[in-house]
Amino acid sequence: MDALVNFFRPHLLPLVYAVVIVALLPLLAGYIVLLERKIMADMQVRLGPMRVGPHGLLQPIADAVKLLIKEDIIPEGADVLIFWLAPLLSVTAAMLAMAALPFGPAFQIADLNIGLLFILGISSMGIFGIVLGGWASNSHYSLLGALRSAAQLVSYETAAGMAVVSGLLLAGTLSTRRIVELQAQQGVWYAFLAPVGFFVYLVASIAETNRAPFDLPEAESELVAGYMTEYSGFRWALYFLAEYTNMVVVGAIAATLFLGGWLRPFSGTRALDFLDYAPSLLMFLLGGYCFYRVPKQPVRVQGGVLAAVGLLCLALAGVLGAVLIPPLADTKAAVHGGFWFLLKVFLYIYVFMWLRFTFPRYRFDQLMRLGWHFLIPVAIVNVMGIGVALVLHWQWHWGLAPALVVTTVATLLVAAFLARVGERRQKPLVGET
């Protein structure tokens, strides 16, 4: 019996983490959609979803039930087996990529020594779900959307991969946990050492997840809905679940590689240790704001729900504050680390939403020109610049920061030159002035 317990003990906690991710991620994706609709409504000076539940909080549940009972249609002439499996492939690849992501110092399914390579390789398989779904639908719109998506992902995954290499050169390891630990030891996030790489990854990750202004594979104005035109019911929802899961994945990669992972800002500066109180204070202020808004609600049930949210925020503030007490200090790194990591991921996702409601959709030729004529060359030059900076640091004993400043400035000059050349090459379409 003891041998059996010892065999399963190392695998039990990762199994629990995996179950938590698989169980909570669909619900989280639904409420990210609600948050996106609320943010869009706020930017457009309207309310957004308000009918289903207090403040529209039950809207994701209503959407899920509607999609479950909606008629499931398979086009005549479609490849039924592939039509069924394609959305599952996209969702499975997106969820499996989360296995090597550290959501805090105490929450990670598997700490692989090639963790980042595993994440990039598995998440790249999601393109097969899109391409196969478009091909199996027996529809010209779906096939065009799938081909667009394949061209777009190949283009921007190249740029994103080169941006990731810039961070790996600084870290010298593929282990996601070790990358965060090295940023803690060096006392600086890699977004500040490789700002060009971080910017390239940000833009490329927006295109990889088919988000506006790079949502050309879906392009309702041209392709109806692109690769998922012929999908209905819950299989249609699986593609959206894959998209929002991929948003969490790319946000987690950015947080791990460039933004210090679970580290709080200025974690290596003792004079700023008062920032340890920021999570508890933030949740306390959020709870106070909820109670401030309760009397202003037009319906009593909305006020009650807002008060419940306020109580939840105060409870979280208490938990985040309690771990600062010496008897519970051993749990501080795990609790606060998870808070800071999730905060960075959601801020990254908020940038996705902000850009969606700010910029118009690109034309497909503009999309490909941006990827191949600008982002990929800049990413390659950036990797070469970081390599030169490391040689100057190791062989010529330059300070790492001055060497990186010099090479980053050189990379920015190359980027400005490429942007200028791109403006000269760009020709207006027929009929444009």
What is d(CA 144, CA 333) in angstroms, rounded to the nearest whole number?
A: 48
The 10s digit of each residue's pLDDT in 228-244 is 888 888 888 888 888 89
What pLDDT is attached to residue 270? 81
What pLDDT is attached to residue 7? 56
Residue 173 lies in a domain: no
Helix 332-356 × helix 195-208 angle, to 10°:
70
* 268 contacts 184 by C-beta, under 8 angstroms: yes
The 10s digit of each residue's pLDDT in 141-169 is 888 888 888 888 888 989 999 999 999 99
What is d(CA 345, CA 247) in angstroms, rounded to the nearest whole number?
A: 9
Residue 420 lies in a domain: no
Sign of CA dihedral 125, 338, 283, 317: positive
- The secondary structure of residue 211, as a DSSP letter, is -
Residues with Cβ within 8 Å of 137's Cβ and at least 6 positions away in sequence, in order, are 75, 78, 83, 143, 227, 229, 230, 231
> Token match 């598997």: residue?
110
Residue type, 414: V
Residues with Cβ within 8 Å of 282's Cβ and at least 6 positions away in sequence, in order, are 317
Residue 238 lies in a domain: no
User: Whole-prediction pTM value?
Assistant: 0.91
What pLDDT is attached to residue 142? 85
Residue 259 lies in a domain: no
Range of the domain at 335: 270-356
What pLDDT is attached to residue 337? 92
> Token match 């306390």: residue?
284
Residue 281 lies in a domain: yes
What pLDDT is attached to residue 3? 57
CB-based burial label for 151 (10 Å; 0-12, 13-18, 19+): middle
Residue 48 lies in a domain: yes
> Token match 């200090």: residue?
329
What pLDDT is attached to residue 8? 56
What is d(CA 91, CA 21) in angstroms, rounded to the nearest whole number?
A: 13
What is d(CA 205, CA 160) in angstroms, rounded to the nearest whole number?
A: 7
What pLDDT is attached to residue 328? 83
What pLDDT is attached to residue 202? 95
- Furthest-apart CA atoms within the chain: distance in Å: 80
> Token match 């760009």: residue?
426
Give me the residues of the chain with pLDDT under 50, please: 1, 433
Among residues 299, 326, 356, the one where a domain terminates is 356
Find the distance separating the first CA and the last CA of the chain, reported in whole Å: 80
Among residues 331, 356, 381, the one where a domain terminates is 356
* CA atoms within 13 A of residue 420's CA, in its CB half-sphere: 6
What is d(CA 245, CA 25) in angstroms, rounded to the nearest whole number?
A: 7
Among residues 69, 84, 105, the one where a domain terminates is 69
Residue 50 lies in a domain: yes
Give CA separation, 35 vs 43, 183, 212, in Å.
Answer: 12, 31, 16
Sign of CA dihedral 403, 405, 408, 409: negative
Other Cβ atoms less than 10 A from the Cβ of 372: the count is: 14
Q: Domain count for the chain, please give it.
A: 2
Give the length of the chain: 433
* CA atoms within 13 A of residue 318's CA, in its CB half-sphere: 6
What is d(CA 329, CA 116) in angstroms, rounded to the nearest whole number?
A: 30
Residue 241 lies in a domain: no
Structure tokens at 273: 């240790």
Instruction: Spell out a b/e string for 336-368, using b for 16 or more CB atoms within 10 Å of the CB, else e.
Output: bbbbbbbebbeebbeebbebbeeeebbebeebb
Give the residue from 219, 223, 230 showing the smallest Cα distance to 138: 230
The 3-state DSSP class for residue 28 equals helix
